[in-house]
Chain A
Amino acid sequence: MAKREHFVGKADEFKDGDRRIVFVGDTEIGLFKNQGEFYAYSNTCLHQAGPACEGMIISKVEEKILPDGTSAGLYFSDTVTHFVCPWHGYEYNLKTGVCAADRRLRLRKYDVMQKDDGVYVIV
Protein backbone atom coordinates (compact mmCIF):
# COMPACT_ATOMS: atom_id res chain seq x y z
CA MET A 1 0.00 0.00 0.00
CA ALA A 2 1.35 3.43 -0.92
CA LYS A 3 2.40 5.62 2.01
CA ARG A 4 0.49 8.79 2.62
CA GLU A 5 1.15 11.99 4.46
CA HIS A 6 -1.03 12.56 7.49
CA PHE A 7 -1.28 16.03 8.89
CA VAL A 8 -0.48 16.24 12.58
CA GLY A 9 -0.47 19.94 13.33
CA LYS A 10 1.12 23.27 12.61
CA ALA A 11 4.85 23.37 13.24
CA ASP A 12 4.60 26.39 15.51
CA GLU A 13 2.23 24.45 17.81
CA PHE A 14 5.12 22.25 18.92
CA LYS A 15 7.84 23.29 21.27
CA ASP A 16 10.80 21.17 22.27
CA GLY A 17 9.75 18.40 24.62
CA ASP A 18 6.21 18.19 23.27
CA ARG A 19 4.67 14.95 22.22
CA ARG A 20 1.39 14.04 20.58
CA ILE A 21 -0.35 10.74 19.89
CA VAL A 22 -1.66 10.46 16.33
CA PHE A 23 -4.25 7.95 15.15
CA VAL A 24 -4.09 6.82 11.54
CA GLY A 25 -6.78 4.17 11.13
CA ASP A 26 -5.85 1.45 13.64
CA THR A 27 -2.28 2.67 13.87
CA GLU A 28 -1.24 4.72 16.85
CA ILE A 29 1.86 6.82 16.49
CA GLY A 30 3.73 8.87 19.04
CA LEU A 31 5.23 12.05 17.67
CA PHE A 32 7.97 13.83 19.64
CA LYS A 33 9.75 17.10 19.13
CA ASN A 34 13.24 17.06 20.57
CA GLN A 35 16.07 19.53 20.01
CA GLY A 36 14.27 21.02 17.03
CA GLU A 37 13.64 17.70 15.28
CA PHE A 38 10.52 15.52 15.01
CA TYR A 39 10.51 11.78 15.65
CA ALA A 40 7.62 9.37 15.30
CA TYR A 41 7.23 5.80 16.51
CA SER A 42 4.65 3.12 16.88
CA ASN A 43 2.85 3.68 20.16
CA THR A 44 2.78 -0.07 20.89
CA CYS A 45 5.45 -1.25 23.27
CA LEU A 46 7.42 -4.30 22.20
CA HIS A 47 7.00 -5.78 25.69
CA GLN A 48 3.28 -6.29 26.31
CA ALA A 49 1.81 -3.74 23.85
CA GLY A 50 1.58 -0.83 26.28
CA PRO A 51 1.33 2.82 25.12
CA ALA A 52 5.08 3.19 24.63
CA CYS A 53 5.04 6.87 23.70
CA GLU A 54 2.76 8.17 26.43
CA GLY A 55 4.99 8.14 29.47
CA MET A 56 8.02 9.83 30.90
CA ILE A 57 10.64 11.49 28.73
CA ILE A 58 13.95 11.37 30.53
CA SER A 59 17.66 11.39 29.79
CA LYS A 60 19.46 8.10 29.72
CA VAL A 61 21.10 7.10 32.99
CA GLU A 62 24.81 6.50 32.70
CA GLU A 63 27.45 5.44 35.21
CA LYS A 64 30.82 7.08 35.48
CA ILE A 65 33.68 4.62 35.76
CA LEU A 66 37.05 6.10 36.61
CA PRO A 67 40.35 4.93 35.06
CA ASP A 68 41.01 2.77 38.11
CA GLY A 69 37.72 0.91 37.53
CA THR A 70 35.87 2.39 40.45
CA SER A 71 32.40 3.86 40.09
CA ALA A 72 31.85 7.56 40.56
CA GLY A 73 28.09 7.13 40.57
CA LEU A 74 25.14 7.60 38.25
CA TYR A 75 24.39 10.62 36.13
CA PHE A 76 21.99 11.72 33.41
CA SER A 77 23.35 11.76 29.88
CA ASP A 78 23.78 15.15 28.21
CA THR A 79 23.19 13.70 24.76
CA VAL A 80 20.82 10.73 24.87
CA THR A 81 17.11 11.08 25.65
CA HIS A 82 14.73 8.21 26.24
CA PHE A 83 10.99 7.89 26.26
CA VAL A 84 9.57 5.31 28.64
CA CYS A 85 6.56 3.05 28.34
CA PRO A 86 4.40 3.87 31.38
CA TRP A 87 3.23 0.30 31.90
CA HIS A 88 6.53 -1.31 32.94
CA GLY A 89 9.37 1.10 32.21
CA TYR A 90 10.73 -0.15 28.88
CA GLU A 91 13.01 2.66 27.67
CA TYR A 92 13.54 3.64 24.04
CA ASN A 93 16.09 5.98 22.48
CA LEU A 94 14.16 9.02 21.32
CA LYS A 95 16.27 9.53 18.20
CA THR A 96 16.32 5.90 17.02
CA GLY A 97 13.51 3.99 18.77
CA VAL A 98 16.02 1.36 19.90
CA CYS A 99 15.20 -0.41 23.17
CA ALA A 100 17.72 0.62 25.81
CA ALA A 101 17.91 -2.80 27.46
CA ASP A 102 18.18 -4.85 24.27
CA ARG A 103 19.49 -3.07 21.22
CA ARG A 104 18.20 -5.80 18.93
CA LEU A 105 14.71 -4.50 19.62
CA ARG A 106 13.44 -1.35 18.00
CA LEU A 107 10.07 0.36 17.74
CA ARG A 108 8.80 0.92 14.25
CA LYS A 109 9.83 4.40 13.20
CA TYR A 110 7.79 6.64 10.94
CA ASP A 111 9.11 9.42 8.74
CA VAL A 112 8.05 12.93 9.63
CA MET A 113 8.12 15.78 7.16
CA GLN A 114 7.46 19.45 7.43
CA LYS A 115 5.73 21.02 4.49
CA ASP A 116 4.73 24.66 4.39
CA ASP A 117 3.92 25.26 8.04
CA GLY A 118 2.56 21.80 8.76
CA VAL A 119 3.97 18.66 10.32
CA TYR A 120 3.09 15.39 8.62
CA VAL A 121 3.73 11.79 9.57
CA ILE A 122 4.16 9.36 6.68
CA VAL A 123 2.23 6.14 7.10
Chain B
Amino acid sequence: MEMISDRDRRISVDELNTSRLLAHARKETSRRGLDDVLVIDVDAHHYENEHMREILPFIENDVQRQLALQSGGRTDRGGLLPGAVGYQDMGGRVTRFALRGSEKTDPGKHRDIQLGQRWMDAMSVDYSCLFPTGMLTVGLHPQPDVEVDLCWAYNRWITEKVLPESDGRFFSMLNLPMSEPDAALRTVETFGHRKGVTGFMITAVRHLPVHHNSLMKVYRAIEERGLALAFHSGVNWGENVFKGCNRFISVHALGFSFYNIIHCTNWVVNGMGERLPKLPVIWIESGLAWVPFLMQRLDHEYMMRSSECPLLRKKPSDYMRDMYYSSQPMEVQDMNLLESTFRAINAETQLLWSSDYPHWDFDLPTVVWDLPFLSEKAKHNIVGGNAARLFKLPPRNEKQQANLKRFGNPPG
Protein backbone atom coordinates (compact mmCIF):
# COMPACT_ATOMS: atom_id res chain seq x y z
CA MET B 1 0.00 0.00 0.00
CA GLU B 2 1.10 3.58 -0.48
CA MET B 3 1.06 6.58 1.82
CA ILE B 4 1.37 10.14 0.56
CA SER B 5 4.53 11.81 1.82
CA ASP B 6 5.87 15.27 1.05
CA ARG B 7 5.62 16.70 -2.47
CA ASP B 8 3.23 13.86 -3.39
CA ARG B 9 6.01 11.33 -2.93
CA ARG B 10 4.58 7.83 -2.40
CA ILE B 11 5.92 5.64 0.38
CA SER B 12 5.28 1.93 0.26
CA VAL B 13 4.05 0.39 3.52
CA ASP B 14 2.61 -3.01 4.25
CA GLU B 15 -1.14 -3.33 4.61
CA LEU B 16 -2.10 -3.21 8.25
CA ASN B 17 -1.91 -6.27 10.41
CA THR B 18 -2.11 -5.33 14.05
CA SER B 19 -0.23 -8.38 15.26
CA ARG B 20 2.63 -7.60 12.91
CA LEU B 21 2.60 -3.88 13.71
CA LEU B 22 2.82 -4.71 17.40
CA ALA B 23 5.32 -7.60 17.11
CA HIS B 24 7.80 -5.61 19.18
CA ALA B 25 5.18 -5.14 21.88
CA ARG B 26 4.83 -8.93 22.12
CA LYS B 27 8.58 -9.28 22.42
CA GLU B 28 8.86 -6.58 25.10
CA THR B 29 5.99 -7.78 27.27
CA SER B 30 7.03 -11.40 26.91
CA ARG B 31 10.59 -10.55 27.90
CA ARG B 32 9.26 -9.05 31.12
CA GLY B 33 7.08 -12.04 31.93
CA LEU B 34 3.86 -10.06 31.74
CA ASP B 35 1.82 -13.09 30.68
CA ASP B 36 2.16 -14.20 34.32
CA VAL B 37 0.84 -10.86 35.53
CA LEU B 38 -2.82 -9.86 35.33
CA VAL B 39 -2.80 -6.86 32.99
CA ILE B 40 -6.00 -4.84 32.69
CA ASP B 41 -6.38 -1.96 30.30
CA VAL B 42 -8.98 0.49 31.59
CA ASP B 43 -9.11 2.60 28.45
CA ALA B 44 -9.07 1.22 24.94
CA HIS B 45 -11.10 2.09 21.90
CA HIS B 46 -12.79 0.88 18.85
CA TYR B 47 -14.11 2.76 15.85
CA GLU B 48 -17.81 2.25 16.33
CA ASN B 49 -18.39 4.81 13.58
CA GLU B 50 -17.41 2.05 11.14
CA HIS B 51 -20.46 0.06 12.26
CA MET B 52 -23.18 2.69 12.22
CA ARG B 53 -25.39 0.44 10.09
CA GLU B 54 -25.43 -2.01 12.98
CA ILE B 55 -25.88 0.64 15.69
CA LEU B 56 -28.50 2.98 14.31
CA PRO B 57 -31.34 0.44 14.13
CA PHE B 58 -31.26 0.42 17.95
CA ILE B 59 -32.44 4.05 18.06
CA GLU B 60 -35.82 3.99 19.78
CA ASN B 61 -37.48 7.07 18.32
CA ASP B 62 -38.99 6.23 14.91
CA VAL B 63 -38.43 9.66 13.39
CA GLN B 64 -34.86 9.96 14.59
CA ARG B 65 -34.09 6.42 13.52
CA GLN B 66 -35.24 7.15 9.98
CA LEU B 67 -33.24 10.36 9.85
CA ALA B 68 -30.18 8.61 11.19
CA LEU B 69 -30.40 5.59 8.92
CA GLN B 70 -30.77 7.77 5.87
CA SER B 71 -28.05 10.29 6.64
CA GLY B 72 -25.74 8.40 8.94
CA GLY B 73 -26.24 4.87 7.80
CA ARG B 74 -22.99 4.91 5.90
CA THR B 75 -19.91 3.51 7.54
CA ASP B 76 -18.92 6.86 9.02
CA ARG B 77 -20.58 9.39 11.29
CA GLY B 78 -22.55 10.97 8.50
CA GLY B 79 -24.25 14.08 9.80
CA LEU B 80 -25.02 12.59 13.19
CA LEU B 81 -22.12 13.42 15.46
CA PRO B 82 -20.27 16.66 16.01
CA GLY B 83 -17.03 16.49 14.08
CA ALA B 84 -13.76 18.03 15.14
CA VAL B 85 -10.75 19.45 13.41
CA GLY B 86 -7.67 17.48 14.34
CA TYR B 87 -4.58 15.71 13.07
CA GLN B 88 -4.34 12.68 15.31
CA ASP B 89 -2.30 10.74 12.79
CA MET B 90 0.07 13.60 11.92
CA GLY B 91 -0.29 13.37 8.18
CA GLY B 92 0.01 9.60 8.14
CA ARG B 93 3.05 9.39 10.38
CA VAL B 94 1.01 7.17 12.70
CA THR B 95 0.24 4.75 9.93
CA ARG B 96 -2.51 2.63 11.48
CA PHE B 97 -5.10 5.41 11.05
CA ALA B 98 -4.88 5.54 7.28
CA LEU B 99 -4.36 1.82 6.93
CA ARG B 100 -7.13 0.72 9.24
CA GLY B 101 -9.51 -0.30 6.50
CA SER B 102 -6.89 -2.57 4.95
CA GLU B 103 -6.68 -4.95 7.88
CA LYS B 104 -8.36 -8.26 7.23
CA THR B 105 -10.44 -10.10 9.76
CA ASP B 106 -12.11 -13.48 9.59
CA PRO B 107 -15.83 -14.17 9.33
CA GLY B 108 -17.61 -15.23 12.48
CA LYS B 109 -16.47 -13.11 15.39
CA HIS B 110 -17.18 -9.37 15.33
CA ARG B 111 -14.41 -7.44 13.57
CA ASP B 112 -13.81 -5.12 16.53
CA ILE B 113 -13.35 -8.09 18.84
CA GLN B 114 -10.83 -9.70 16.49
CA LEU B 115 -8.88 -6.46 16.12
CA GLY B 116 -9.04 -5.85 19.84
CA GLN B 117 -7.76 -9.28 20.73
CA ARG B 118 -4.84 -8.87 18.35
CA TRP B 119 -3.49 -5.85 20.14
CA MET B 120 -4.41 -7.24 23.55
CA ASP B 121 -2.46 -10.42 22.86
CA ALA B 122 0.47 -8.38 21.55
CA MET B 123 0.58 -6.27 24.70
CA SER B 124 -0.08 -9.14 27.13
CA VAL B 125 -3.40 -7.52 28.10
CA ASP B 126 -5.91 -9.86 29.74
CA TYR B 127 -8.94 -7.59 29.91
CA SER B 128 -9.74 -4.30 28.31
CA CYS B 129 -12.39 -1.65 28.87
CA LEU B 130 -13.78 -0.76 25.48
CA PHE B 131 -14.84 2.78 24.72
CA PRO B 132 -16.09 4.39 21.51
CA THR B 133 -14.12 6.87 19.45
CA GLY B 134 -16.56 8.93 17.39
CA MET B 135 -19.05 9.14 20.21
CA LEU B 136 -16.60 10.82 22.54
CA THR B 137 -17.95 14.09 21.12
CA VAL B 138 -21.60 13.25 21.80
CA GLY B 139 -21.60 15.76 24.66
CA LEU B 140 -21.31 18.56 22.11
CA HIS B 141 -24.43 17.48 20.25
CA PRO B 142 -26.80 20.43 19.84
CA GLN B 143 -29.82 18.13 20.23
CA PRO B 144 -30.10 16.56 23.68
CA ASP B 145 -32.73 14.09 22.47
CA VAL B 146 -30.38 12.86 19.75
CA GLU B 147 -27.61 12.46 22.32
CA VAL B 148 -30.03 10.25 24.24
CA ASP B 149 -30.90 8.24 21.12
CA LEU B 150 -27.31 7.71 20.09
CA CYS B 151 -26.13 6.71 23.56
CA TRP B 152 -29.02 4.27 23.89
CA ALA B 153 -28.36 2.73 20.50
CA TYR B 154 -24.62 2.39 21.12
CA ASN B 155 -25.16 0.93 24.61
CA ARG B 156 -27.61 -1.66 23.30
CA TRP B 157 -25.34 -2.57 20.41
CA ILE B 158 -22.22 -2.95 22.49
CA THR B 159 -23.87 -4.98 25.25
CA GLU B 160 -25.93 -7.19 22.92
CA LYS B 161 -23.73 -7.57 19.86
CA VAL B 162 -20.10 -6.91 20.75
CA LEU B 163 -19.24 -7.72 24.36
CA PRO B 164 -20.90 -11.16 24.26
CA GLU B 165 -18.44 -12.23 21.53
CA SER B 166 -15.36 -11.19 23.44
CA ASP B 167 -14.98 -14.35 25.56
CA GLY B 168 -15.24 -12.13 28.61
CA ARG B 169 -12.06 -10.20 27.79
CA PHE B 170 -13.79 -6.92 26.98
CA PHE B 171 -15.87 -4.92 29.41
CA SER B 172 -17.20 -1.40 29.22
CA MET B 173 -18.39 1.63 31.13
CA LEU B 174 -21.37 2.78 29.13
CA ASN B 175 -22.07 6.18 27.66
CA LEU B 176 -24.37 8.38 29.75
CA PRO B 177 -26.57 10.94 27.94
CA MET B 178 -25.90 13.59 30.55
CA SER B 179 -27.84 16.33 28.80
CA GLU B 180 -31.03 14.53 29.91
CA PRO B 181 -30.74 13.35 33.52
CA ASP B 182 -33.88 11.22 33.35
CA ALA B 183 -32.50 9.41 30.32
CA ALA B 184 -29.17 8.97 32.05
CA LEU B 185 -30.93 7.40 35.02
CA ARG B 186 -32.88 5.09 32.72
CA THR B 187 -29.55 4.09 31.16
CA VAL B 188 -28.15 3.06 34.53
CA GLU B 189 -31.33 1.23 35.50
CA THR B 190 -31.55 -0.63 32.17
CA PHE B 191 -27.93 -1.51 31.55
CA GLY B 192 -26.42 -1.61 35.01
CA HIS B 193 -26.92 -5.34 35.46
CA ARG B 194 -25.78 -6.41 31.99
CA LYS B 195 -22.79 -8.69 31.60
CA GLY B 196 -19.60 -6.81 30.93
CA VAL B 197 -20.89 -3.49 32.30
CA THR B 198 -18.61 -2.34 35.10
CA GLY B 199 -19.79 1.24 35.27
CA PHE B 200 -20.85 4.29 33.38
CA MET B 201 -18.92 6.93 31.54
CA ILE B 202 -19.44 10.64 31.04
CA THR B 203 -17.87 11.98 27.87
CA ALA B 204 -16.08 14.90 29.47
CA VAL B 205 -16.00 17.11 26.39
CA ARG B 206 -19.12 19.03 27.33
CA HIS B 207 -20.26 21.96 29.40
CA LEU B 208 -21.77 20.27 32.37
CA PRO B 209 -22.10 21.30 35.99
CA VAL B 210 -21.41 17.80 37.28
CA HIS B 211 -22.64 18.80 40.74
CA HIS B 212 -26.10 19.82 39.51
CA ASN B 213 -28.95 18.54 41.65
CA SER B 214 -30.63 16.98 38.64
CA LEU B 215 -27.72 14.55 38.28
CA MET B 216 -27.59 13.23 41.85
CA LYS B 217 -30.12 10.50 41.13
CA VAL B 218 -27.88 9.21 38.34
CA TYR B 219 -24.80 9.04 40.55
CA ARG B 220 -26.80 7.45 43.38
CA ALA B 221 -28.09 4.77 41.05
CA ILE B 222 -24.54 3.93 39.96
CA GLU B 223 -23.30 3.90 43.54
CA GLU B 224 -26.17 1.66 44.72
CA ARG B 225 -25.26 -0.90 42.09
CA GLY B 226 -21.61 -1.03 43.16
CA LEU B 227 -20.50 0.26 39.78
CA ALA B 228 -17.95 2.92 38.81
CA LEU B 229 -18.28 6.36 37.27
CA ALA B 230 -15.70 7.49 34.74
CA PHE B 231 -15.01 10.82 33.11
CA HIS B 232 -13.42 10.21 29.71
CA SER B 233 -11.80 13.31 28.35
CA GLY B 234 -11.20 14.40 24.78
CA VAL B 235 -10.16 17.19 22.47
CA ASN B 236 -12.21 20.02 21.02
CA TRP B 237 -10.63 22.74 18.91
CA GLY B 238 -14.00 24.46 18.78
CA GLU B 239 -13.86 25.23 22.50
CA ASN B 240 -13.57 29.01 22.78
CA VAL B 241 -10.48 29.01 24.92
CA PHE B 242 -8.60 26.92 22.33
CA LYS B 243 -9.52 28.99 19.32
CA GLY B 244 -6.33 30.99 19.83
CA CYS B 245 -4.23 27.85 19.31
CA ASN B 246 -2.83 27.30 15.83
CA ARG B 247 -1.33 23.83 16.19
CA PHE B 248 -3.04 20.57 17.11
CA ILE B 249 -0.34 19.70 19.64
CA SER B 250 -1.49 22.67 21.74
CA VAL B 251 -5.15 21.73 21.66
CA HIS B 252 -4.41 18.07 22.30
CA ALA B 253 -1.89 18.63 25.11
CA LEU B 254 -4.16 21.04 26.96
CA GLY B 255 -7.64 19.90 26.02
CA PHE B 256 -7.61 16.42 27.48
CA SER B 257 -6.55 17.71 30.84
CA PHE B 258 -8.67 20.87 30.62
CA TYR B 259 -12.05 19.15 30.63
CA ASN B 260 -11.23 16.79 33.45
CA ILE B 261 -9.69 19.62 35.48
CA ILE B 262 -12.97 21.48 35.33
CA HIS B 263 -15.15 18.48 36.13
CA CYS B 264 -12.84 17.31 38.91
CA THR B 265 -12.80 20.78 40.44
CA ASN B 266 -16.58 20.92 40.49
CA TRP B 267 -16.75 17.37 41.83
CA VAL B 268 -14.39 18.10 44.69
CA VAL B 269 -15.49 21.59 45.80
CA ASN B 270 -19.14 20.56 45.81
CA GLY B 271 -18.38 17.76 48.22
CA MET B 272 -19.38 14.92 45.92
CA GLY B 273 -16.87 12.72 47.71
CA GLU B 274 -18.87 13.22 50.92
CA ARG B 275 -22.26 12.82 49.25
CA LEU B 276 -21.27 9.67 47.33
CA PRO B 277 -18.67 8.01 49.55
CA LYS B 278 -18.95 4.58 47.97
CA LEU B 279 -18.87 5.63 44.34
CA PRO B 280 -15.51 4.92 42.65
CA VAL B 281 -14.72 7.78 40.31
CA ILE B 282 -12.13 7.39 37.54
CA TRP B 283 -10.50 10.15 35.52
CA ILE B 284 -9.58 8.82 32.10
CA GLU B 285 -7.16 9.84 29.36
CA SER B 286 -5.93 13.10 30.77
CA GLY B 287 -2.44 11.89 31.68
CA LEU B 288 -1.21 12.45 35.20
CA ALA B 289 0.61 15.78 35.22
CA TRP B 290 -2.63 17.70 35.83
CA VAL B 291 -3.38 15.90 39.08
CA PRO B 292 -0.69 17.36 41.36
CA PHE B 293 -1.29 20.73 39.72
CA LEU B 294 -4.96 20.63 40.70
CA MET B 295 -4.25 19.22 44.14
CA GLN B 296 -1.95 22.10 44.90
CA ARG B 297 -4.17 24.80 43.43
CA LEU B 298 -7.30 23.61 45.21
CA ASP B 299 -5.59 22.97 48.55
CA HIS B 300 -4.01 26.41 48.46
CA GLU B 301 -7.26 28.21 47.78
CA TYR B 302 -9.37 25.99 50.02
CA MET B 303 -7.29 26.94 53.06
CA MET B 304 -8.39 30.56 52.51
CA ARG B 305 -11.85 30.04 50.99
CA SER B 306 -13.24 27.15 53.02
CA SER B 307 -16.59 28.98 53.35
CA GLU B 308 -17.17 28.17 49.67
CA CYS B 309 -16.78 24.43 50.23
CA PRO B 310 -18.74 23.76 53.43
CA LEU B 311 -19.17 20.05 52.74
CA LEU B 312 -15.47 19.32 52.78
CA ARG B 313 -14.10 17.65 55.89
CA LYS B 314 -10.60 17.27 54.54
CA LYS B 315 -8.47 18.95 51.93
CA PRO B 316 -9.36 18.76 48.24
CA SER B 317 -6.23 16.72 47.56
CA ASP B 318 -7.40 14.10 50.05
CA TYR B 319 -10.63 13.68 48.08
CA MET B 320 -8.63 13.49 44.90
CA ARG B 321 -6.48 10.77 46.43
CA ASP B 322 -9.61 8.74 47.05
CA MET B 323 -10.33 8.68 43.32
CA TYR B 324 -8.75 6.71 40.47
CA TYR B 325 -6.73 7.80 37.47
CA SER B 326 -5.95 6.04 34.22
CA SER B 327 -2.29 6.31 33.39
CA GLN B 328 -2.26 7.18 29.71
CA PRO B 329 -0.73 9.28 28.25
CA MET B 330 1.91 9.04 30.94
CA GLU B 331 4.18 12.07 30.83
CA VAL B 332 7.56 10.40 31.29
CA GLN B 333 9.97 13.17 30.35
CA ASP B 334 10.96 14.04 33.92
CA MET B 335 11.29 11.01 36.19
CA ASN B 336 11.60 13.10 39.34
CA LEU B 337 8.35 14.90 38.63
CA LEU B 338 6.67 11.64 37.69
CA GLU B 339 7.79 10.02 40.93
CA SER B 340 6.39 12.97 42.88
CA THR B 341 3.14 12.64 40.96
CA PHE B 342 2.89 8.96 41.83
CA ARG B 343 3.41 9.82 45.48
CA ALA B 344 0.85 12.63 45.37
CA ILE B 345 -1.90 10.48 43.89
CA ASN B 346 -1.09 7.37 45.94
CA ALA B 347 -0.49 5.53 42.70
CA GLU B 348 0.08 2.17 44.33
CA THR B 349 -3.64 1.85 45.02
CA GLN B 350 -5.26 4.51 42.85
CA LEU B 351 -3.53 4.31 39.50
CA LEU B 352 -4.92 2.13 36.71
CA TRP B 353 -2.78 1.37 33.67
CA SER B 354 -4.36 2.12 30.31
CA SER B 355 -3.20 1.87 26.71
CA ASP B 356 -5.69 4.01 24.76
CA TYR B 357 -4.90 1.73 21.83
CA PRO B 358 -5.36 2.20 18.88
CA HIS B 359 -5.17 5.97 19.33
CA TRP B 360 -1.99 7.73 18.37
CA ASP B 361 -0.34 8.21 21.76
CA PHE B 362 -0.99 4.76 23.25
CA ASP B 363 1.14 3.33 26.05
CA LEU B 364 2.40 -0.19 26.52
CA PRO B 365 2.22 -1.72 30.01
CA THR B 366 6.01 -1.50 29.97
CA VAL B 367 5.62 2.25 30.51
CA VAL B 368 4.63 1.41 34.08
CA TRP B 369 6.57 -1.83 34.45
CA ASP B 370 9.90 -0.18 33.70
CA LEU B 371 9.57 2.75 36.09
CA PRO B 372 12.70 2.65 38.24
CA PHE B 373 11.11 4.06 41.39
CA LEU B 374 8.21 1.61 41.66
CA SER B 375 8.11 -1.35 44.02
CA GLU B 376 7.16 -4.73 42.63
CA LYS B 377 3.87 -4.52 44.47
CA ALA B 378 3.07 -1.14 42.94
CA LYS B 379 3.84 -2.43 39.44
CA HIS B 380 1.54 -5.42 39.86
CA ASN B 381 -1.18 -3.23 41.32
CA ILE B 382 -1.03 -0.56 38.67
CA VAL B 383 -0.93 -2.81 35.60
CA GLY B 384 -3.83 -4.90 36.83
CA GLY B 385 -4.29 -5.53 40.55
CA ASN B 386 -6.09 -2.25 41.25
CA ALA B 387 -8.44 -2.72 38.31
CA ALA B 388 -9.06 -6.36 39.24
CA ARG B 389 -10.20 -5.21 42.68
CA LEU B 390 -12.31 -2.37 41.28
CA PHE B 391 -14.00 -4.30 38.50
CA LYS B 392 -13.91 -7.77 40.10
CA LEU B 393 -12.03 -9.39 37.25
CA PRO B 394 -10.48 -12.82 37.81
CA PRO B 395 -6.97 -13.94 36.84
CA ARG B 396 -6.63 -15.97 33.65
CA ASN B 397 -3.97 -18.42 34.77
CA GLU B 398 -2.46 -19.80 37.95
CA LYS B 399 0.61 -17.60 37.92
CA GLN B 400 -1.55 -14.50 37.70
CA GLN B 401 -3.61 -15.81 40.60
CA ALA B 402 -0.49 -16.40 42.66
CA ASN B 403 0.77 -12.90 41.90
CA LEU B 404 -2.54 -11.34 42.86
CA LYS B 405 -2.49 -13.16 46.20
CA ARG B 406 1.15 -12.31 46.73
CA PHE B 407 0.41 -8.60 46.53
CA GLY B 408 -2.83 -8.60 48.45
CA ASN B 409 -5.26 -8.31 45.59
CA PRO B 410 -8.16 -10.70 46.04
CA PRO B 411 -8.52 -12.80 42.87
CA GLY B 412 -11.86 -11.86 41.27
A89 contacts B21, CB within 8 Å?
no
Instruction: Pick from A59, A86, A88: contact of B361, CB below 8 A.
Output: A88
| A48 close to chain B: CB less than 8 A | yes
Q: Tell whether A56 pairs with B364 under 8 Å between CB atoms, given A44-B24, A86-B96.
A: no
B94 contacts A86, CB within 8 Å?
yes
A48 contacts B5, CB within 8 Å?
no
| A46 close to chain B: CB less than 8 A | no
Instruction: Pick from B93, B362, B366: contact of A56, CB below 8 A.
Output: B93
| A25 close to chain B: CB less than 8 A | no
CA distance A49 to B362 in the complex (A): 13
Task: Kindly report which residue of chain B lies nearest to residue A52, judged by CB atoms.
Answer: B24
In the assembled complex, the CB of A71 is this many whole angstroms from the nearest CB of chain B, namely 9
| A121 close to chain B: CB less than 8 A | no
In the assembled complex, the CB of B14 is this many whole angstroms from the nearest CB of chain A, namely 8
B93 contacts A58, CB within 8 Å?
yes
| B314 close to chain A: CB less than 8 A | no
Can you list 27 residue pairs at the A/B interface with Cβ under 8 Å? Answer: A17-B11, A44-B24, A48-B364, A48-B366, A48-B367, A49-B25, A49-B28, A49-B366, A51-B21, A51-B23, A55-B13, A56-B11, A56-B92, A58-B6, A58-B9, A58-B91, A58-B93, A59-B5, A59-B6, A76-B6, A86-B21, A87-B94, A87-B362, A88-B360, A88-B361, A89-B90, A89-B94
Interface of A is mostly: loop
Residues of chain A within 8 A (CB-CB) of B243 are: none
Residues of chain A within 8 A (CB-CB) of B7 are: 59, 76
Residues of chain B within 8 A (CB-CB) of A56 are: 3, 5, 11, 13, 91-93, 95
B24 contacts A86, CB within 8 Å?
no
Residues of chain B within 8 A (CB-CB) of A50 are: 24
CA distance A36 to B94 in the complex (A): 27
Q: Tell whether A88 pairs with B24 under 8 Å between CB atoms, given A17-B11, A48-B364.
A: no
CA distance A54 to B3 in the complex (A): 12
| B285 close to chain A: CB less than 8 A | no
CA distance A84 to B366 in the complex (A): 21
Please report which residues of chain A, range 32-70, place their CB below 8 angstroms from some CB of chain B when the two chains form the complex.
44, 48-51, 54-59
Interface size of B in residues (CB-CB distance below 8 Å):
28
| B48 close to chain A: CB less than 8 A | no
Residues of chain B within 8 A (CB-CB) of A84 are: 93
Residues of chain A within 8 A (CB-CB) of B6 are: 58-59, 76
Residues of chain A within 8 A (CB-CB) of B93 are: 55-56, 58, 84, 86, 89, 91
Task: Kindly report which residue of chain A lies nearest to residue B31, judged by CB atoms.
Answer: A49
Q: Tell whether A48 pairs with B95 under 8 Å between CB atoms, given A55-B13, A56-B11.
A: no
Q: What sequence of 0s and 1s flags, for each residue 353-394 of chain B, a beta carbon within 8 Å of any chain A beta carbon? A: 000000011111011000000000000000000000000000
Instruction: Pick from B13, B25, B362: contact of A54, CB below 8 A.
Output: B13
B-binding residues in A (CB < 8 A): 17, 44, 48-51, 54-59, 76, 84, 86-89, 91
Residues of chain A within 8 A (CB-CB) of B9 are: 17, 57-58
CA distance A86 to B23 in the complex (A): 13
Instruction: Pick from B14, B28, B360: contact of A89, CB below 8 A.
Output: B360
CA distance A95 to B49 in the complex (A): 41
Task: Kindly report which residue of chain A lies nearest to residue B96, judged by CB atoms.
Answer: A86
Q: Tell whether A57 pairs with B96 under 8 Å between CB atoms, given A50-B24, A86-B21, A88-B360.
A: no
CA distance A89 to B361 in the complex (A): 9
Please report which residues of chain B, range 1-55, place their CB below 8 angstroms from some CB of chain A when the two chains form the complex.
3, 5-7, 9, 11, 13-14, 21, 23-25, 27-28
CA distance A3 to B255 in the complex (A): 50
Residues of chain A within 8 A (CB-CB) of B360 are: 88-89
CA distance A56 to B23 in the complex (A): 18
Pick from A44, A59, A84, A86 the residue with the most CB of B within 10 Å.
A86
Instruction: Pick from B3, B14, B92, B94: contact of A88, CB below 8 A.
Output: B94
Residues of chain A within 8 A (CB-CB) of B362 are: 87-88
Residues of chain A within 8 A (CB-CB) of B21 are: 51, 86-87
A48 contacts B11, CB within 8 Å?
no
CA distance A89 to B28 in the complex (A): 19
CA distance A76 to B9 in the complex (A): 12
Pick from B14, B24, B94 the residue with the most CB of A within 10 Å.
B24
Task: Kindly report which residue of chain B lies nearest to residue A90, judged by CB atoms.
Answer: B93
Q: Which 9 A-B pairs have the closest CB atoms?
A: A76-B6, A86-B95, A89-B93, A59-B6, A84-B93, A58-B5, A49-B24, A89-B90, A56-B93
CA distance A50 to B21 in the complex (A): 8
Task: Kindly report which residue of chain A lies nearest to residue B27, judged by CB atoms.
Answer: A49
CA distance A55 to B94 in the complex (A): 8
Residues of chain A within 8 A (CB-CB) of B14 are: 54
